[in-house]
Structure 1
Amino acid sequence: MRLPLKLGNKLHGTGHILTWSLQNLFYTCFRSVTKMANTTVTSVNYPFVVSKYTTAFDFEVIDLPYIVKTMDDLTPWILALCLVYIASIFALQHWMKDRAAYDLRKPLIIWNFGLALFSVVGALRQFPEVFGIVFDKGVYACGCLP
């Protein structure tokens, strides 16, 4: 069943190829990208850059305006690499269709162990910050305030 989609003040008909949920997803993403494109680095306040609960290591200190500008400059490359990645998934599926499956049990165990270790280290690193904000300002401030 296809539902009508409301874009702004206009109501589009039900004859679209995409379902309402996909159209809504694309519209939401486009709106977010447009909002980000209209936001300059100097117009954004970064109160979360300095923390009173944890000390940043040398490799964690970044030049935020430079990073934002670099990511903005690399956006076409990122999108192109995403398309190549998606195409390679389908190409490799087609290539492996008539081949024997690989035994990936050991590499996947190693991958999952590494991912779990990374998650534990990340959680330990973030715990003092979250703990401090929750007890100073409350749960709402921890997740909803910048």
Structure 2
Amino acid sequence: MKWIETTGGPFVLVALDDVPLWTGHRGDYQQACEVDGATGLVGFGDPERQRTALALWDEPLRTAYLPEHQAFVQWLYADSEDELIQMVNSQISSVAWEDGPSIDVRDTAILFDASIPGMDLASSDSLEIQLGRGVYRVRTADIEPGERQAARVHQLTLNK
């Protein structure tokens, strides 16, 4: 499983076609840092044709994507990756979710460190996800079934 990290700030989820427009530490990064809460939307790009990124904020946690749950999992603590993923798989259907913003997804989206300008982004520093076209609600939950494992999960659910 591929895990990515930030240099201390938030992640952003940006449509593949819009990644080159993200200016990172040269401009857009500050807006991503101003998100209040675990998730939020950030406008960027040409003011006449504004793009939207989803910011995942709160703590700079090691993050992976679980396509079977359409969810980003952030590693709070666990003894191993296998243990963390098994815990998420067994608990995700019964957690208390907090609703976040909705984002319009066209197809492929890229999650990466908000400080990196899109033009400088390397594939090793990002997660590519495939979703069907639609508007997705982001919901967040902390999964902490015991003292030895915990994860924050951001799930994308298609609005109906």
TM-score tier, shorter chain, comes to: under 0.3
More helix by share: 1
Higher relative contact order (CA 8 A, sep 6+): 2
Between Structure 1 and Structure 2, whose CA radius of gyration is higher?
A: 1
More strand by share: 2
Superposition TM-score, scaled by structure 2 size:
0.19
